[in-house]
Structure 1
Amino acid sequence: MDIGSCWKNNGQPCDGDVTTDVTRYSEMIINPSIEAWCKPDKLDSCPPYHTLPNGTLIHRSDRQNFPYDAYHIYCSPGNAEHLEEPYNLCDAYSNPQPQEILQIVPHPVWGDYGYPTRKGEGWIGDSRTWELDVGRLSQALYFYQDPGTKPVERRWPSIDLGTEIYVSGNEIAEWTVSDFDIIVPKEDKQLS
């Protein structure tokens, strides 16, 4: 699952200015051969914070509590002015304008949102139905914003499901999805 959006580092909506707009992606990688690059000794590949379902923030330097194995890689937007060191800037391989990418891998911390919790779940031979709370997870994931700015109201207009071959020497991928529904719960509206 790959969700994408765009907002400026100050929380304002994108307006087509490719110098200040930032395309942002969150991706779950289920290929069991992929290892997390985020490690206690490689903090530049980790987001600065992990958020628990109750809203508690865990800094990436907290070796006892930060779930390093839940994150494949995080890269910061190249136009961010207040990045916490160490950081890893997203390259222009797939998008020449500033972008921010957060890739997660199966781990118990994602179970509360319905996502795979162990390697191999959702992969070949595991054909169960998944009900993912994509919206709630996307609100919990770290994305850069300039200090002192109003938190952005995250909207994810792009949802992709499929395969991506990052660097390849002529590989072919086959991806099968038997059914895909997007369920948007109705908002409770109180009458005045």
Structure 2
Amino acid sequence: MRSKVEVLNPNISSWYHPDHLGVCPPYHTFLNGTRVHRNDTARFPYAAYHFYCSPGNGKYLEFPYTLCDPYSNPQPQEIMQILPNPVWGEFGYPTTPGEGWIGDPRTWELDVGRLSQSLYFYQDPGTTPVRRKWMSIDLGTEIFKDPDQVAEWTVCDFDIFVPK
């Protein structure tokens, strides 16, 4: 199974809300370890997410759910799309719309590993916990459904820190 996390353009609004739970991950885990279910409308950070789709081979997916496109990869995939939000600031990510995009020349130190550990990814109940390995990092843009769109992405420096 392939897991993918995408940070989206801040001009896109969240599709998550209490009446559309099929595109929400079942849980959000805060940095302090507190886990909040998507039904908890007072505490779940709906605006932090844009879209979540479940892997097509999940045996016990929590209803309601949306399956990822089974045809775009040779193996089942799971996609999490996040938006600028204060909950991601703890990991170095933009917290408000417009940060980190065109016209914002700041340098960002992102704790990708810690973020990925806190995100919900599906696991069949009762199975041995999966040790996810992020074998590659894709940096760049992905254009969705608009063949006339032009995108520019610049990376000026890239360091990978591996803790012991």
TM-score bin, normalised by smaller chain: over 0.9
Q: Distance in 2 between matches of 1:173 and 1:125?
A: 14
Give the conservation status (yes or no) of the 8 Å contact 2:56–2:70: no
1:27-55 CA distance string (max 9 Å, x none): 111x1211111111100010000001111
Verify: 1:179 aligned to 2:145, yes or no.
no
Q: Counterparts of 2:38 and 2:105 in 1: how far apart (Å)?
A: 34
In the alignment, is residue 122 of structure 1 matched against residue 113 of structure 2? Answer: no
CA distance in 2, matches of 1:175, 1:151: 36
Larger Rg: 1
Letter of the 2:53 counterpart: C
Structure 2 match to 1:109: 87
CA–CA separation in structure 2 for the residues paired with 1:130 and 1:47: 26
Give the C-alpha shift of residue 175 in structure 1. 1.5
Correspondence for 2:45: 67
Aligned residues: percent identity?
Answer: 67
1:27 aligns with 2:6: yes
Number of the residue aligned with 2:66: 88
| Number of equivalences | 164
Q: Which amino acid aligns with 1:24?
A: S
Q: Secondary structure at the match of 1:158?
A: coil
What TM-score results when the alignment is normalised by the length of structure 2? 0.95
Q: Which runs of 5+ in 2 are unaligned?
A: none
CA deviation string 1:24-82 (max 9, x = no partner)? 111111x1211111111100010000001111110000000000000110000111110
> Is 1:77–2:55 an aligned residue pair?
yes
Measured after TM superposition, the shift of residue 155 of structure 1 is 1.4
Q: Matched residues in 2 for 1:107 and 1:32: separation?
A: 10
1:7 counterpart residue number: none
| 2:89 partner letter | G
For structure 1, list consecutive stretches of 5 or more residues without a partner in the other structure: 1-21, 188-192
Displacement of 1:154 after TM fit?
Answer: 2.0
Q: CA deviation at 1:93?
A: 5.2
Partner of 1:9: none
Give the 4+ runs in structure 1 shifted more than 2 A.
none
Q: Report the RMSD for the aligned CA atoms in angstroms.
A: 1.2
Give the distance between the partners of 2:128 and 2:79, measured in 1 at CA: 21
Supply the AA of the counterpart residue of 1:97: Q
